[in-house]
Amino acid sequence: MNRYEFYELKSWLYLPVIFVGLLGNFASFLVYRTAPMRKSTVGTLLLILSLIDILLLILITPIFVLVFLPLWEDQWQKYSFHMSFFAYSTRYVYPLCMMTKSCSLYLMVLITIERWIAVCRPLQAKVLCTNRNTLKAGIFIIIFSIVFNAPRFFDYKIGDGYLSEMWMLDTEKHWWYFMFYFVILSVIFDYALPFLIMTIANYHVIRALQESDEVITGLAVQKRKDQKTTVMLLVVTIFFAFCHLFSMFLKLAESMFGGFLTQTSFYWEVFAEFTIFLIIFHTSSTFFIYYGFSEKFRTIFHDIIRCRPRSDDVKCSTYLPVNSSGATSEVKTRKSPASV
Protein backbone atom coordinates (compact mmCIF):
# COMPACT_ATOMS: atom_id res chain seq x y z
CA MET A 1 0.00 0.00 0.00
CA ASN A 2 1.44 3.37 -1.03
CA ARG A 3 0.95 6.65 0.81
CA TYR A 4 -1.96 7.91 -1.26
CA GLU A 5 -3.85 4.62 -0.90
CA PHE A 6 -3.31 4.78 2.86
CA TYR A 7 -4.65 8.34 3.08
CA GLU A 8 -7.63 7.46 0.91
CA LEU A 9 -8.40 4.47 3.12
CA LYS A 10 -8.18 6.45 6.34
CA SER A 11 -10.42 9.16 4.81
CA TRP A 12 -13.14 6.59 4.21
CA LEU A 13 -12.68 5.52 7.84
CA TYR A 14 -12.91 9.08 9.17
CA LEU A 15 -16.01 9.99 7.16
CA PRO A 16 -18.65 7.88 8.98
CA VAL A 17 -17.11 8.66 12.38
CA ILE A 18 -17.33 12.39 11.68
CA PHE A 19 -20.90 12.03 10.39
CA VAL A 20 -21.98 10.18 13.55
CA GLY A 21 -20.15 12.80 15.62
CA LEU A 22 -22.01 15.66 13.93
CA LEU A 23 -25.35 13.99 14.59
CA GLY A 24 -24.42 13.16 18.19
CA ASN A 25 -23.14 16.63 19.04
CA PHE A 26 -26.18 18.24 17.41
CA ALA A 27 -28.41 15.99 19.53
CA SER A 28 -26.41 16.97 22.64
CA PHE A 29 -26.82 20.63 21.70
CA LEU A 30 -30.60 20.20 21.45
CA VAL A 31 -30.69 18.54 24.87
CA TYR A 32 -28.46 21.03 26.68
CA ARG A 33 -30.22 24.05 25.23
CA THR A 34 -33.42 23.11 27.07
CA ALA A 35 -34.32 25.10 30.19
CA PRO A 36 -33.85 22.20 32.69
CA MET A 37 -30.28 21.63 31.46
CA ARG A 38 -29.29 25.30 31.28
CA LYS A 39 -30.09 25.77 34.96
CA SER A 40 -26.72 24.29 35.93
CA THR A 41 -23.26 25.50 34.98
CA VAL A 42 -22.43 21.99 33.75
CA GLY A 43 -25.30 22.17 31.27
CA THR A 44 -24.12 25.55 30.02
CA LEU A 45 -20.56 24.28 29.57
CA LEU A 46 -21.68 21.13 27.75
CA LEU A 47 -23.92 23.25 25.53
CA ILE A 48 -20.93 25.38 24.48
CA LEU A 49 -18.75 22.27 24.13
CA SER A 50 -21.28 20.65 21.79
CA LEU A 51 -21.19 23.69 19.49
CA ILE A 52 -17.38 23.81 19.54
CA ASP A 53 -17.14 20.09 18.76
CA ILE A 54 -19.55 20.47 15.82
CA LEU A 55 -17.37 23.24 14.43
CA LEU A 56 -14.22 21.17 15.03
CA LEU A 57 -15.59 18.18 13.11
CA ILE A 58 -16.68 20.45 10.24
CA LEU A 59 -13.21 22.01 10.01
CA ILE A 60 -11.46 18.62 10.22
CA THR A 61 -13.42 17.28 7.25
CA PRO A 62 -11.79 19.28 4.40
CA ILE A 63 -8.25 18.90 5.79
CA PHE A 64 -8.17 15.21 6.68
CA VAL A 65 -11.01 13.70 4.63
CA LEU A 66 -12.15 15.49 1.46
CA VAL A 67 -8.68 16.20 0.17
CA PHE A 68 -7.87 12.48 -0.11
CA LEU A 69 -11.17 11.13 -1.44
CA PRO A 70 -11.32 10.04 -5.14
CA LEU A 71 -13.72 12.76 -6.30
CA TRP A 72 -12.55 12.66 -9.93
CA GLU A 73 -11.61 9.75 -12.12
CA ASP A 74 -9.18 11.72 -14.27
CA GLN A 75 -5.72 11.50 -12.69
CA TRP A 76 -4.68 15.04 -13.64
CA GLN A 77 -7.89 16.52 -12.24
CA LYS A 78 -7.38 14.48 -9.09
CA TYR A 79 -3.80 15.69 -8.72
CA SER A 80 -4.68 19.32 -9.48
CA PHE A 81 -7.58 19.33 -7.03
CA HIS A 82 -5.57 17.58 -4.35
CA MET A 83 -2.67 20.01 -4.48
CA SER A 84 -4.71 23.22 -4.63
CA PHE A 85 -7.35 22.14 -2.12
CA PHE A 86 -4.73 20.83 0.28
CA ALA A 87 -2.76 24.08 -0.03
CA TYR A 88 -5.65 26.41 0.75
CA SER A 89 -7.16 24.22 3.46
CA THR A 90 -3.78 23.94 5.18
CA ARG A 91 -3.17 27.67 4.87
CA TYR A 92 -6.52 28.92 6.12
CA VAL A 93 -8.63 26.09 7.59
CA TYR A 94 -5.99 24.36 9.72
CA PRO A 95 -5.47 27.40 12.03
CA LEU A 96 -9.23 27.60 12.58
CA CYS A 97 -9.23 23.89 13.35
CA MET A 98 -6.52 24.39 15.98
CA MET A 99 -8.50 27.26 17.52
CA THR A 100 -11.56 25.07 18.00
CA LYS A 101 -9.34 22.24 19.32
CA SER A 102 -7.93 24.59 21.98
CA CYS A 103 -11.47 25.75 22.86
CA SER A 104 -12.57 22.15 23.29
CA LEU A 105 -9.49 21.35 25.38
CA TYR A 106 -9.89 24.23 27.83
CA LEU A 107 -13.64 23.76 28.10
CA MET A 108 -12.84 20.26 29.34
CA VAL A 109 -10.42 21.82 31.82
CA LEU A 110 -13.14 24.24 32.96
CA ILE A 111 -15.62 21.38 33.38
CA THR A 112 -13.04 19.50 35.46
CA ILE A 113 -12.46 22.54 37.68
CA GLU A 114 -16.22 23.04 38.09
CA ARG A 115 -16.64 19.44 39.24
CA TRP A 116 -13.70 19.79 41.64
CA ILE A 117 -15.30 22.86 43.22
CA ALA A 118 -18.72 21.17 43.39
CA VAL A 119 -17.37 18.00 45.02
CA CYS A 120 -14.38 19.19 47.06
CA ARG A 121 -15.46 22.79 47.85
CA PRO A 122 -19.27 22.56 48.01
CA LEU A 123 -19.64 25.67 50.23
CA GLN A 124 -17.94 27.81 47.58
CA ALA A 125 -19.80 26.26 44.65
CA LYS A 126 -22.87 28.52 44.91
CA VAL A 127 -20.66 31.61 44.69
CA LEU A 128 -18.16 30.45 42.07
CA CYS A 129 -20.17 28.04 39.91
CA THR A 130 -22.74 30.41 38.44
CA ASN A 131 -23.89 30.75 34.85
CA ARG A 132 -22.55 34.30 34.78
CA ASN A 133 -19.05 33.20 35.80
CA THR A 134 -19.28 30.25 33.41
CA LEU A 135 -20.08 32.51 30.45
CA LYS A 136 -17.20 34.83 31.39
CA ALA A 137 -14.79 31.87 31.56
CA GLY A 138 -16.11 30.51 28.26
CA ILE A 139 -15.60 33.87 26.51
CA PHE A 140 -12.07 34.09 27.93
CA ILE A 141 -11.30 30.58 26.63
CA ILE A 142 -12.53 31.48 23.14
CA ILE A 143 -10.46 34.69 23.06
CA PHE A 144 -7.37 32.89 24.38
CA SER A 145 -7.75 30.10 21.79
CA ILE A 146 -8.00 32.62 18.94
CA VAL A 147 -5.02 34.70 20.09
CA PHE A 148 -2.82 31.71 20.93
CA ASN A 149 -3.37 30.01 17.56
CA ALA A 150 -3.36 33.17 15.39
CA PRO A 151 0.36 32.73 14.47
CA ARG A 152 -0.54 29.45 12.74
CA PHE A 153 -1.91 31.48 9.82
CA PHE A 154 1.75 32.20 8.99
CA ASP A 155 2.98 28.60 9.26
CA TYR A 156 2.48 27.92 5.55
CA LYS A 157 2.37 29.91 2.36
CA ILE A 158 0.99 29.02 -1.05
CA GLY A 159 3.48 28.86 -3.89
CA ASP A 160 3.02 28.16 -7.61
CA GLY A 161 -0.75 28.25 -7.12
CA TYR A 162 -0.78 24.74 -5.65
CA LEU A 163 1.85 23.74 -3.17
CA SER A 164 1.49 24.76 0.45
CA GLU A 165 5.08 25.43 1.45
CA MET A 166 6.32 25.44 5.02
CA TRP A 167 7.32 28.98 5.89
CA MET A 168 7.57 29.80 9.58
CA LEU A 169 7.89 26.07 10.34
CA ASP A 170 11.09 25.84 8.29
CA THR A 171 13.49 24.65 10.97
CA GLU A 172 16.49 26.02 9.07
CA LYS A 173 15.17 29.56 8.46
CA HIS A 174 13.01 30.03 11.54
CA TRP A 175 14.44 27.73 14.20
CA TRP A 176 13.45 30.16 16.97
CA TYR A 177 9.78 30.07 15.93
CA PHE A 178 9.74 26.29 15.62
CA MET A 179 11.28 25.73 19.03
CA PHE A 180 9.66 28.57 21.02
CA TYR A 181 6.12 28.56 19.65
CA PHE A 182 5.49 25.28 17.82
CA VAL A 183 7.29 23.12 20.41
CA ILE A 184 7.68 24.82 23.80
CA LEU A 185 4.50 26.91 24.01
CA SER A 186 2.47 24.22 22.27
CA VAL A 187 3.66 21.51 24.67
CA ILE A 188 2.93 23.72 27.69
CA PHE A 189 -0.47 25.14 26.75
CA ASP A 190 -1.81 22.37 24.48
CA TYR A 191 -0.79 19.43 26.65
CA ALA A 192 1.22 19.81 29.86
CA LEU A 193 -0.76 22.54 31.69
CA PRO A 194 -4.31 21.35 30.90
CA PHE A 195 -3.45 17.68 31.50
CA LEU A 196 -1.77 18.53 34.81
CA ILE A 197 -4.83 20.47 35.98
CA MET A 198 -7.22 17.71 34.90
CA THR A 199 -5.09 14.98 36.50
CA ILE A 200 -4.85 16.70 39.89
CA ALA A 201 -8.50 17.79 39.94
CA ASN A 202 -9.80 14.38 38.84
CA TYR A 203 -7.64 12.65 41.45
CA HIS A 204 -9.19 14.71 44.26
CA VAL A 205 -12.70 14.23 42.83
CA ILE A 206 -12.25 10.45 42.69
CA ARG A 207 -10.93 10.41 46.27
CA ALA A 208 -13.88 12.49 47.43
CA LEU A 209 -16.35 10.17 45.69
CA GLN A 210 -14.73 7.11 47.25
CA GLU A 211 -14.93 8.64 50.72
CA SER A 212 -18.56 9.63 50.25
CA ASP A 213 -19.43 6.08 49.16
CA GLU A 214 -17.80 4.70 52.31
CA VAL A 215 -19.50 6.98 54.86
CA ILE A 216 -22.85 7.67 53.19
CA THR A 217 -25.20 4.84 52.35
CA GLY A 218 -28.55 6.63 52.32
CA LEU A 219 -27.80 9.49 49.98
CA ALA A 220 -30.60 11.85 49.08
CA VAL A 221 -31.97 11.60 45.57
CA GLN A 222 -30.44 14.92 44.48
CA LYS A 223 -27.08 13.95 45.96
CA ARG A 224 -27.11 10.70 44.00
CA LYS A 225 -27.91 12.59 40.81
CA ASP A 226 -24.98 14.95 41.45
CA GLN A 227 -22.71 11.96 41.94
CA LYS A 228 -23.85 10.41 38.67
CA THR A 229 -23.20 13.71 36.87
CA THR A 230 -19.73 13.85 38.39
CA VAL A 231 -18.97 10.26 37.35
CA MET A 232 -20.19 11.02 33.82
CA LEU A 233 -17.92 14.05 33.55
CA LEU A 234 -15.02 12.04 34.99
CA VAL A 235 -15.45 9.49 32.21
CA VAL A 236 -15.59 12.28 29.61
CA THR A 237 -12.45 14.04 30.85
CA ILE A 238 -10.41 10.86 31.42
CA PHE A 239 -11.39 9.57 27.97
CA PHE A 240 -10.49 12.98 26.57
CA ALA A 241 -7.03 12.86 28.20
CA PHE A 242 -6.40 9.33 26.91
CA CYS A 243 -7.28 10.25 23.31
CA HIS A 244 -4.97 13.28 23.41
CA LEU A 245 -2.12 11.45 25.16
CA PHE A 246 -0.65 10.03 21.94
CA SER A 247 -0.73 13.43 20.27
CA MET A 248 1.27 14.80 23.19
CA PHE A 249 3.79 11.97 22.79
CA LEU A 250 4.24 12.85 19.10
CA LYS A 251 4.78 16.52 19.96
CA LEU A 252 7.38 15.65 22.61
CA ALA A 253 9.17 13.31 20.18
CA GLU A 254 9.35 16.08 17.57
CA SER A 255 10.72 18.50 20.17
CA MET A 256 13.42 16.01 21.14
CA PHE A 257 14.50 15.26 17.58
CA GLY A 258 14.07 18.86 16.42
CA GLY A 259 12.03 18.26 13.28
CA PHE A 260 8.91 16.78 11.77
CA LEU A 261 9.16 13.03 12.20
CA THR A 262 6.21 12.51 9.84
CA GLN A 263 8.40 13.77 6.99
CA THR A 264 11.11 11.22 7.63
CA SER A 265 9.19 7.97 8.11
CA PHE A 266 5.95 6.50 6.82
CA TYR A 267 5.44 4.79 10.18
CA TRP A 268 5.42 8.16 11.93
CA GLU A 269 2.84 9.33 9.39
CA VAL A 270 0.64 6.39 10.33
CA PHE A 271 1.13 7.16 14.02
CA ALA A 272 0.23 10.82 13.43
CA GLU A 273 -2.99 9.77 11.67
CA PHE A 274 -3.74 7.47 14.60
CA THR A 275 -3.51 10.43 17.00
CA ILE A 276 -5.86 12.44 14.76
CA PHE A 277 -8.33 9.56 14.63
CA LEU A 278 -8.38 9.35 18.43
CA ILE A 279 -9.24 13.05 18.67
CA ILE A 280 -12.01 12.63 16.09
CA PHE A 281 -13.26 9.51 17.86
CA HIS A 282 -13.49 11.28 21.22
CA THR A 283 -15.23 14.31 19.75
CA SER A 284 -17.73 12.01 18.03
CA SER A 285 -18.47 9.77 21.02
CA THR A 286 -19.40 12.21 23.80
CA PHE A 287 -23.13 11.87 23.03
CA PHE A 288 -22.99 8.17 23.88
CA ILE A 289 -21.30 8.92 27.20
CA TYR A 290 -23.95 11.50 28.09
CA TYR A 291 -26.70 9.10 27.05
CA GLY A 292 -25.25 6.17 28.97
CA PHE A 293 -24.55 7.95 32.26
CA SER A 294 -27.24 10.62 32.56
CA GLU A 295 -30.85 9.61 33.10
CA LYS A 296 -31.94 13.23 32.77
CA PHE A 297 -30.16 13.49 29.41
CA ARG A 298 -31.91 10.33 28.18
CA THR A 299 -35.32 11.55 29.31
CA ILE A 300 -35.00 14.93 27.59
CA PHE A 301 -33.54 13.34 24.47
CA HIS A 302 -36.46 10.91 24.24
CA ASP A 303 -38.90 13.80 24.72
CA ILE A 304 -37.23 15.71 21.88
CA ILE A 305 -37.47 12.70 19.56
CA ARG A 306 -41.15 12.26 20.42
CA CYS A 307 -41.73 16.01 19.96
CA ARG A 308 -42.87 16.47 23.55
CA PRO A 309 -42.51 20.08 24.75
CA ARG A 310 -40.60 20.63 27.98
CA SER A 311 -40.91 23.70 30.13
CA ASP A 312 -40.29 24.69 33.71
CA ASP A 313 -43.55 26.65 33.82
CA VAL A 314 -45.87 24.13 32.20
CA LYS A 315 -45.28 20.50 33.12
CA CYS A 316 -47.52 18.16 31.17
CA SER A 317 -47.26 15.17 33.49
CA THR A 318 -49.72 12.36 32.87
CA TYR A 319 -51.11 10.37 35.73
CA LEU A 320 -53.22 7.22 35.53
CA PRO A 321 -55.18 7.05 38.78
CA VAL A 322 -57.35 4.03 39.45
CA ASN A 323 -61.08 4.78 39.73
CA SER A 324 -63.65 2.88 41.75
CA SER A 325 -64.33 0.46 38.90
CA GLY A 326 -60.69 -0.55 38.69
CA ALA A 327 -60.10 1.18 35.34
CA THR A 328 -57.58 3.90 34.76
CA SER A 329 -58.40 7.41 33.69
CA GLU A 330 -56.03 10.03 32.28
CA VAL A 331 -55.62 13.26 34.22
CA LYS A 332 -53.32 16.04 33.06
CA THR A 333 -52.01 18.71 35.34
CA ARG A 334 -52.63 22.21 34.03
CA LYS A 335 -51.74 25.66 35.20
CA SER A 336 -54.66 27.41 36.87
CA PRO A 337 -55.87 30.64 35.22
CA ALA A 338 -54.80 32.59 38.28
CA SER A 339 -51.18 31.53 37.85
CA VAL A 340 -50.96 32.63 34.23
Domain membership flag for residue 317? no
CA dihedral 184, 186, 191, 193 (to 10 degrees): 70
Distance CA 20, CA 42 (A): 23
Q: Could you give the CA distance from residue 90 to residue 303 in angstroms, rounded to a whole number? A: 41
pLDDT bucket at 142, cuts 50 / 70 / 90 = very high
Phi, psi of 166 (to 5 degrees): -70, 130
Please indicate, yes or no, if residue 208 is contained in any of the structural domains: yes
Contact 28, 292 (CB under 8 A): no
Q: How confident is the model at residue 140 (pLDDT cuts 50, 70, 90)?
A: very high
273 lies in some domain:
yes
Question: Per residue in 151-197, pLDDT tens?
Answer: 988 888 777 655 556 667 777 777 888 788 888 888 889 888 988 89
Residue 181 lies in a domain: yes
| Cα-to-chain-centroid distance, residue 95 | 17
Rounded distance between C-alpha atoms, residue 247 and residue 266, angstroms: 17
What type of residue is 210? Q
- Position 242 in a domain: yes
User: Which residue range forms the structural domain that includes residue 67?
Assistant: 3-306
**pLDDT value of position 319:** 33
In the Cβ-directed half-sphere of 301, how many Cα atoms lie within 13 Å? 17
Alpha helix (H) residue ranges in 89-149: 94-120, 122-128, 131-149
CA 62 to chain centroid: 18
Would residue 205 count as lying in a domain? yes
Each residue's pLDDT tens digit, 60-114: 998 888 877 776 555 555 566 667 777 788 888 989 999 999 999 999 899 889 8
Q: What's the mean pLDDT in 213-228?
A: 54
Examine residue 315 and state whether it is found in any structural domain, yes or no. no
Q: What is the pLDDT of residue 51?
A: 94
Yes or no: say if 59 and 93 are a contact pair by the CB < 8 Å rule: yes
Which residue, 308, 306, 278, 225, is CA-closest to 42? 225
Instruction: Give how many domains the chain has, as a whole number.
Output: 1
pLDDT of residue 41: 86
Please state, in angstroms and rounded to a whole number, the distance separating the CA atoms of residues 102 and 55.
12
Q: Say if 135 falls within a structural domain.
A: yes
pLDDT at residue 320 tops 50: no
pTM over 0.95: no
Q: For the chain, what percent of residues have pLDDT higher than 90?
A: 22
- Asked if 24 and 284 count as a contact pair (C-beta separation under 8 A), the reply is yes
Q: Looking at residue 149, which CATH number applies to its domain?
A: 1.20.1070.10
